């Protein structure tokens, strides 16, 4: 499928590869088809983007939302590490999204009637290596040990797709990038080899060919962010170690001073050495030794 500039709406926040790909109408439709293969009537133009755009933040976004008829689908990507707070993240995102939905449709909560809401589906797409994950995570199970509370949010966990569908291809795309990153590092060469590999294996071939430069910019941004986070963590650790060493040196000096003071007092009690001799033994000023002798 040939892509045109109209297929991709330029966003004001930083895209992840996930949001960049599925912002394109055709691929968003393929994603929906992967979730609902039974729906044979919905067309790409029937799917309405509902992703929340926060133009203030400098974060890289991994959240996607779209409406299909009476359905409102929210999908969050969890990358290398599993985020146990996904249910709460989904809850806050959904609250903002529903508020936007009501405002956009001119619906008031004070109208006196029960309002109509879309059928909500929440998903997390996990592209990391951990495999012992539940098929569903919820607020009650995560935070309240399954006890009944006043509200709950349930999120479907997706860690694999069906062979050849959009989810499966996305997993293959991310794995190709990660595999080449491990071999060639966070370099342009690694990204080019990963994208060329995907084109050869028919993994989103039009996307990886025609959006190659955009994809490489996105991944460079992600690589730079990862490096910055690691550098900051190393800086914090180094600073903490330096402070700990300072404190340890202070404590050691304090203990050494106490031992010296006790030794001087002991010799003064014995009375066999002059103040000058004690001063020479411990490097303590004669005046200090004399002061300590006067206090005894």
Give 166-177 pLDDT, tens digit per residue: 999 999 999 999
Residue 38: predicted pLDDT: 96
Residue 296 within a domain: no
Q: Is 137 exposed, middle or buried (0-12, 13-18, 19+ CB in 10 A)?
A: buried
Residue 289 within a domain: no
Q: What is the mean pLDDT of residues 69-79?
A: 88
**Mean model confidence pLDDT for the chain:** 82
Tell me the percentage of the chain whose pLDDT exceeds 70: 83
Residue 75 within a domain: yes
Nearest of 118, 169, 159, 117 to residue 136 by alpha carbon: 159
Residue 244 within a domain: no
Q: How many domains does the chain have?
A: 1
Residue 25 within a domain: yes
Residue 8: predicted pLDDT: 36
Residue 116: predicted pLDDT: 87
- Beta-carbon contacts of 83 under 8 Å, excluding residues fewer than 6 positions away, are 89
- Domain containing residue 85: 5-236
Q: Which ranges of the chain would DSSP assign to H, the alpha helix?
A: 17-22, 25-35, 86-104, 139-143, 166-184, 188-200, 205-210, 212-270, 275-282, 286-294
Residue 242: predicted pLDDT: 73
Q: Is the pLDDT of residue 4 over 50?
A: no
Round to whole Å and give the CA distance between 241 and 26.
52
Query: Would you place residue 275 in the very low, low, confident or very high pLDDT band (cuts 50, 70, 90)?
Result: confident
Give 232-241 pLDDT, tens digit per residue: 555 566 666 6
Residue 159 within a domain: yes
Would the pTM count as exceeding 0.75?
no
Residue 217: predicted pLDDT: 86
Least confident of 132-146, 202-216, 274-288: 274-288
Query: Would you place residue 264 in the very low, low, confident or very high pLDDT band (cuts 50, 70, 90)?
Result: confident
Query: Would you place residue 231 in the very low, low, confident or very high pLDDT band (cuts 50, 70, 90)?
Result: low
Residue 227: predicted pLDDT: 56
Tell me the percentage of the chain whose pLDDT exceeds 90: 39
Residue 126 within a domain: yes
Q: State the residue for tokens 């983007």.
A: 49
Nearest of 103, 98, 113 to residue 67 by alpha carbon: 98
Q: Is the pLDDT of residue 28 over 90?
A: yes
Residue 279 within a domain: no
């Amino acid at each position: 499928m040939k892509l045109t500039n109209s297929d991709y709406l330029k966003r004001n926040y930083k895209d992840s590869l996930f949001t960049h790909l599925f912002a394109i109408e055709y691929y968003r439709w393929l994603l929906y088809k992967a979730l609902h293969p039974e729906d044979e009537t919905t067309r790409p133009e029937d799917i309405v983007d509902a992703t929340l755009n926060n133009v203030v933040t400098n974060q890289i976004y991994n959240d996607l939302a779209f409406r299909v008829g009476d359905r409102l689908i929210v999908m969050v990507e969890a990358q290398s590490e599993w985020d146990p707070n996904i249910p709460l993240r989904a809850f806050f995102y959904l609250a903002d999204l529903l508020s936007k939905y009501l405002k956009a449709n001119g619906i008031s909560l004070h109208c006196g009637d029960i309002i109509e809401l879309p059928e909500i589906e929440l998903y997390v797409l996990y592209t990391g290596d951990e495999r012992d994950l539940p098929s569903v995570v919820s607020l009650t199970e995560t935070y309240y040990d399954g006890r009944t509370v006043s509200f709950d949010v349930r999120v479907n966990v997706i860690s694999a797709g069906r062979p050849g569908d959009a989810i499966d291809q996305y997993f293959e795309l991310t794995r190709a990038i990660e595999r080449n990153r491990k071999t060639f590092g966070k370099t342009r060469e690694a990204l080019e080899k990963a994208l060329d590999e995907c084109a050869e294996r028919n993994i989103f071939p039009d996307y990886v060919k025609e959006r190659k430069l955009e994809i490489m910019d996105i991944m460079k941004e992600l690589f730079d962010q990862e490096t910055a986070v690691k550098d900051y963590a190393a800086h914090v650790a180094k600073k903490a170690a330096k402070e700990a060493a300072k404190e340890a040196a202070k404590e050691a000096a304090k203990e050494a001073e106490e031992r010296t003071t006790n030794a001087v007092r002991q010799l003064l009690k014995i009375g066999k050495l002059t103040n000058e001799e004690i001063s020479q033994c411990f490097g303590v000023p004669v005046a200090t030794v004399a002061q300590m002798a006067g206090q005894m």
